[in-house]
Amino acid sequence: MKASHYWQFVRLKATGLCIRETIANAREFFLQQFPVTDALDAVADLTDLQVQRQLWQLSKNGESQAEICLRCFISNQIEQTCYQIANQFGTDRGFRHKDLLVFVLNDVLEIPRNRQPIQNTFISVARDILNSFEPERSNLATWTSRKVKQNRELHGFLLEHGIYLISDWAILNDTSPKQLERIYTEFHQTAQYSIQQAKNLLEAYHAIYRADRLRSKLSGTKGQCPPPTSEQLQKISTYLATNFAENLDPNSILYQLQEIANKLRQYRIQARGGKSRQVSLDQPNLTINPEKLLDRTDDEQEPFAFLAAYRQQFEQSLENAIAKVTDIRHSKLKQRSPHSANNFLTGLSLFHCHGQPMAEIATAVGLEAQYQVTRLLKLKELRSDVRREMLGGLKEQVIELAKFYTLPSQLSELDRKLEVVLQELVEEEMERAEAESIKSKGIPLRSRFAIKLCKYLQRVHKC
């Protein structure tokens, strides 16, 4: 950090313009305390933390100029933190750093005429930061950045723009498996199988990462939650294998933890009154970023060309899987009872293409009760078979496709993560179909799965 930041005060004018003022007395005081290399604008032989500790102690002893130096430093750090947030999110979310400064850059520097600080009942953000600062635990730059991001008004503004400034690992730490189940069920409408997998992984994460985090806090270590280490990921993998008979490698675990955190983050943004992620209604609802499957190359258009080709492959794989699974089920039923086989096709059509409830379908196909239709159609099993059939061939097809859009050196990395990514995407599609079937209220179903099934039934079986 520049030495001049200890005597240059950043403030907002009434017009919203951000200006930097040199506080002469603070500069004179600082240069008396610390040797500064003018050419580098840096304190010689001392770190920022050492300077801050000395200034903090002087301010506690009643030296008002030391406090002013620290508040100057905080004002510069507030500005820098707002720049960082705006650079990271502002372009996509439509705001600039000055839109953030109005919430946190509100310190009023009253210059004392003697060594006694001026009493002021207004507690600015900078004063609050300084009052809560503990130099033995953190440096002032880190503490300022953290407090700015926790500011209630700034936090509310960012939520309105769909931004929730908490790390994935902190979100996972304070979410219980019971909360996850509720959020996945009510907010994301996720299938039970995927909910249980996520709960198992969260339990393993808590048993390893959160336990380590709590031990660190008890020993006095604070700060943001860092990403899990390779050792922690390996322990999570062992925990899953031992307790749930699930075999996931550390890289897959890291990816899936981030996906869980992303879903929890979406819920928290909306639950706190923020805007959820916007999706254009005229775009296909296959929600995948090209970076998920293919890293960017020098040609910025290649990932999007790949994505377009991938969409076609995904659609075709879904159609093929539906046709194969439905034909196999129909053939097996036909061997036992041609009448049941016809009822099976009719039931699928009435439910997915016409939105009829199971009770009405039972009457239409000559069955006595709704449960008999449920037993005949076995929709969960049907979707599970389609999921498995899709995953069976899609990975090889996408690898072949990627050869035209990526470098040979990238293919091994793509192959490593592709199975996890495709499994998530296919399951997402099936979960959407299942959630829609549960909520069916007498109208044709509109998931991609239902539409393709209806087209197949109409084309091949004239249903």
Give yes or no: residues 305 and 427 share one domain: yes
Is the residue at 32 inside a domain? yes
Nearest to 238 by CA among 205, 191, 260, 214: 205
Calculate the alpha carbon distances from 43 to 2, 29, 144, 407 in Å.
Answer: 8, 14, 20, 48
Q: Is the pLDDT of residue 415 over 70?
A: no
Least confident of 161-170, 330-339, 419-428: 419-428
Judge if 181 and 153 occupy the same domain.
no
pLDDT tens, residue by residue, 369-408: 888 989 999 998 998 889 888 887 777 777 776 666 555 5
Helices 448-460/338-354 angle, 10° precision: 130
Alpha helix segments (H runs only) across 43-167:
48-60, 64-85, 91-93, 97-104, 125-132, 140-150, 152-160
d(CA 125, CA 74): 9
Give the single-character DSSP code of 280: -
Percent of the chain past pLDDT 90, that is, above it, reads: 28
Using one digit for the tens of pLDDT, what is the confidence trace for 268-310? 877 766 554 432 222 334 444 444 444 444 444 444 455 556 6
The pLDDT value recorded for residue 219 is: 67
Provide the pLDDT for residue 455.
Answer: 87
Q: Is the pLDDT of residue 218 over 90?
A: no
Q: What is the pLDDT of residues 31-42, one digit of tens each?
A: 999 887 765 567
Q: For position 395, what pLDDT does the model report?
A: 72
- Looking at residue 308, its pLDDT comes to 57
Residue 279, in any domain of the structure? no
Same structural domain for residues 209 and 262? yes
Q: Is the pLDDT of residue 409 over 70?
A: no
Confidence at residue 69, expressed as pLDDT on a 0 to 100 scale: 94
Q: What distance in Å separates the CA atoms of residue 360 and residue 347, rounded to the nearest whole number?
A: 10
pLDDT at 283: 32
Q: Do 142 and 107 reside in the same domain of the chain? A: yes
Same domain? For 105 and 174 the reply is no
Q: Answer whether residue 187 shows pLDDT above 90.
A: no
Last residue of a domain, one of 138, 160, 182: 160
Cα(361)–Cα(346) distance, integer angstroms: 9
* Residue that is last in its domain, among 134, 160, 186: 160
Show the tokens assigned to 283.
């775009």
Report if residue 455 sits inside a domain: yes
Please tell me whether residues 184 and 330 are part of one structural domain: no
Give residue 199's domain range: 168-271
289 in any annotated domain: no
Contact indicator for 84, 154 with CB cutoff of 8 Å: no
Determine, yes or no, domain membership for 278. no
The fraction of the chain above a pLDDT of 70, given in percent, is 79
Q: What is the pLDDT of residues 110-158, one digit of tens each?
A: 755 454 544 555 688 999 999 989 888 778 988 898 889 888 888 788 8
User: Does pLDDT of 352 surpass 90?
Assistant: no
pLDDT for res 198: 92
Q: How far apart are CA 53 and CA 47, in angstroms?
A: 10
**Chain-wide mean pLDDT for the chain?**
80
Q: Give the end of a domain, one of 160, 195, 217.
A: 160
Q: What's at 111, amino acid-wise?
A: I
Is 220 inside any structural domain?
yes
- Per-residue pLDDT, averaged over 238-255, amounts to 89
pLDDT the model gives residue 276: 47
Does the residue 288 lie in any domain?
A: no
Query: pLDDT at residue 107 above 70?
Result: yes
pLDDT for the residue numbered 309:
62
Domain co-membership, 324 together with 180: no
List the one residue out of 161, 150, 17 whose CA is nearest residue 86. Answer: 161
Tell me the Ramachandran region of residue 24: left when phi exceeds 0, alpha when psi lies from -120 to 50, beta otherwise. alpha
Indicate the pTM of the whole model.
0.48
Whether 336 and 383 map to the same domain: the answer is yes
Q: Are residues 98 and 172 in the same domain?
A: no
Question: How far apart are alpha carbons 40 and 38 in whole angstroms?
Answer: 5
For range 55-81, the mean pLDDT: 93
Same domain, 314 and 434: yes
- Judge if 134 and 100 occupy the same domain: yes
Most confident of 142-151, 239-248, 313-322: 239-248
Quick one: pLDDT at residue 76?
A: 93
Residues 231 and 334 in one domain: no
Give pLDDT, residue 462: 77
Number of domains in the chain: 3
DSSP string over 281-348: TTS-S----HHHHS---SSTTHHHHHHHHHHHHHHHHHHHHHHHHHHHHHHHHHHH-HHHHHHHHHHH
pLDDT-based confidence at 427, cuts 50/70/90?
A: confident
pLDDT (0 to 100) of residue 356: 86
Q: pLDDT at residue 80 above 70?
A: yes
Task: Report yes or no on 291 lying in a domain.
Answer: no
